[in-house]
A and B are shown apart, each in its own frame.
Chain A
């Protein structure tokens, strides 16, 4: 109980820390843009020291007003921070980035970019001169690539100079293209606005990106997290495998004690009942899928550790589902294909109805596998971020500190509660993915005896 209290207090302290950090963010653009205003007020501040409380609130309101005015005039301010938007924050935090941020620190990652007219570009994302106060936007553009909110985007305009160019900021404008509202990002450099392409990624395309003129093969945050987890798991599992080989008949020790029951559970409760006699062939696949998903789910759950949302990325779950799709259909026996293409034991006219549905079912199975894992993990991350966002929603992004402190108590408790549920979901989703894989393989390799034929 005392430990739980300690965790709650630690989370509370940390969240108020974030709150202070965000508040700083909010004021940062206006302090840089309205220096004259600041100077005037500083002298004013010296004269009336005992009026400082009134003064600071007044100070804030004029600041935000000034910032807004400036953004409206040139379309080139840091207007993304003038108002807190919970959905944008959530989508930013669940998306893949070209920089690994832990708290205020940004760790650069290698960028590997390709475009038809420019060829390959290799450089570290530290070349973008990442800003610590704006969620990893770059202060520089490199070879017509810019880092907007931690993601590499390409500047469409061919007149933009190559090499390193310092940029003033990023803006987003909503315009209507073919009757659809589209958000277009702009980068500001040399006092001018340049249009940016969307990020080049599979899920980026699904969320309104479409195809881009460049390809991003970078070691992104997700890829880095995946490599980290794969390295960790290789050490763990290869060590255990060699321990079993060296001493096959002794009692398990160390990590073997933890993993042997899990592996036996998967063998006895998942593989044997669903696949049947030939289960041993598929055990490596099932175990690999289970532990890969489980460890990445848990890695994404570590608070304040960058929150790499790997299994909540559509591209990752799609590759996993494609592997399952290939394995199931390569191992499908005669009965499996017969049941899909020409279902036995029913009238011919029903067969013509059933066959298209069964063929669709072959593709729908991996699609639901892909979407289930993606949606569960993404939903969990979004819910936690939205609960943390309550602090900023109630605090009006720095305008009402009292409400923010009040909301932080509730939101930390709610986020803690959801985190506990997400821990459960991490295990359940890894289990469900493995279970469904086993049941699809089982359905494809099952030997049918057709007892129902006797009735017809």
Chain B
């Protein structure tokens, strides 16, 4: 594994997902703070979007494993 370019790709995928999920979580918290009564809808949509973003990163990491 040492010196493999695959490791860089996995790191980049993690960075992308981190930015994405972080933005989603941050915006969701802002929305909840502004409108606490809508917490149910916001939470459901937050998890849905976070799962979609995370899915892309996980596929990238899986591909990294497969081409290793």
Whether a CB of chain B sits under 8 angstroms from the CB of A331 is no
Q: Mark B40-55, 1 if CB is under 8 A from A, else 0.
A: 1100100110011011
The answer on a CB contact under 8 Å between A379 and B1 is: no
| Interface-facing stretch out of A2-10, A255-263, A431-439 | A431-439
Q: How far is the CA of A206 from the CA of B67 in the complex (A)?
A: 11
Contacts of A431 in B (CB 8 A): 47
Chain A: number of interface residues, binned into ranges? 10 to 19
The answer on a CB contact under 8 Å between A372 and B62 is: no
Q: How far is the CA of A439 from the CA of B49 in the complex (A)?
A: 12
Within 176-231 of A, Cβ neighbours of B (below 8 Å) are at 206-207
Instruction: Give the most central of B48, B55, B62: most A CB within 10 Å.
Output: B55
Give the secondary structure class of A's interface. Answer: helix
Contacts of A436 in B (CB 8 A): 48, 51
Whether a CB of chain B sits under 8 angstroms from the CB of A269 is yes
Q: How far is the CA of A374 from the CA of B63 in the complex (A)?
A: 13
Choose among B40, B47, B52, B58 the residue that contacts A371 (Cβ–Cβ < 8 A): B58
Q: How far is the CB of A169 from chain B (nearest CB, A)?
A: 26
Chain B: number of interface residues, binned into ranges? 10 to 19
Whether a CB of chain B sits under 8 angstroms from the CB of A420 is no
Whether a CB of chain B sits under 8 angstroms from the CB of A376 is yes
The answer on a CB contact under 8 Å between A372 and B48 is: no
The answer on a CB contact under 8 Å between A368 and B59 is: yes
Contacts of A428 in B (CB 8 A): 47, 51
Q: Mark A357-372, 1 if CB is under 8 A from B, else 0.
A: 0000000000010011
The answer on a CB contact under 8 Å between A376 and B58 is: yes
Contacts of B7 in A (CB 8 A): none
The answer on a CB contact under 8 Å between B62 and A371 is: yes
The answer on a CB contact under 8 Å between A372 and B58 is: yes
Q: How far is the CB of A309 from chain B (nearest CB, A)?
A: 15
Whether a CB of chain B sits under 8 angstroms from the CB of A348 is no
Within 330-389 of A, Cβ neighbours of B (below 8 Å) are at 368, 371-372, 374-376, 379
Q: How far is the CA of A368 from the CA of B62 in the complex (A)?
A: 12
The answer on a CB contact under 8 Å between B40 and A269 is: yes
Asked if A375 meets B61 with Cβ closer than 8 Å, knowing A87-B1, A206-B66, A269-B40, the reply is yes
Choose among B41, B48, B62 the residue that contacts A432 (Cβ–Cβ < 8 A): B48
Q: How far is the CA of A431 from the CA of B46 in the complex (A)?
A: 12
The answer on a CB contact under 8 Å between A379 and B58 is: yes
Q: Mark A158-186, 1 if CB is under 8 A from B, else 0.
A: 00000000000000000000000000000
Contacts of B61 in A (CB 8 A): 375, 379
Q: Which residue of B lies closest to A374 (CB)?
A: B62
Q: How far is the CB of A366 from chain B (nearest CB, A)?
A: 12
Q: How far is the CA of A61 from the CA of B58 in the complex (A)?
A: 42
Whether a CB of chain B sits under 8 angstroms from the CB of A239 is no
Q: How far is the CA of A102 from the CA of B1 in the complex (A)?
A: 30
Q: Which residue of A lies closest to B57 (CB)?
A: A375
Contacts of A207 in B (CB 8 A): 66
Choose among B44, B48, B58 the residue that contacts A375 (Cβ–Cβ < 8 A): B58
Q: How far is the CA of A19 from the CA of B1 in the complex (A)?
A: 25
Q: How far is the CA of A368 from the CA of B48 in the complex (A)?
A: 13
Question: Which residues of A are at the interface with B, using a C-beta cutoff of 8 A?
Answer: 87, 206-207, 269-270, 273, 368, 371-372, 374-376, 379, 428, 431-432, 435-436, 439
13 A-B residue pairings within 8 Å (CB atoms): A87-B1, A269-B44, A270-B44, A273-B44, A368-B59, A372-B55, A372-B58, A374-B62, A375-B62, A376-B58, A379-B61, A435-B48, A435-B51
Question: Which residues of B are at the interface with A, using a C-beta cutoff of 8 A?
Answer: 1, 40-41, 44, 47-48, 51-52, 54-55, 58-59, 61-62, 66
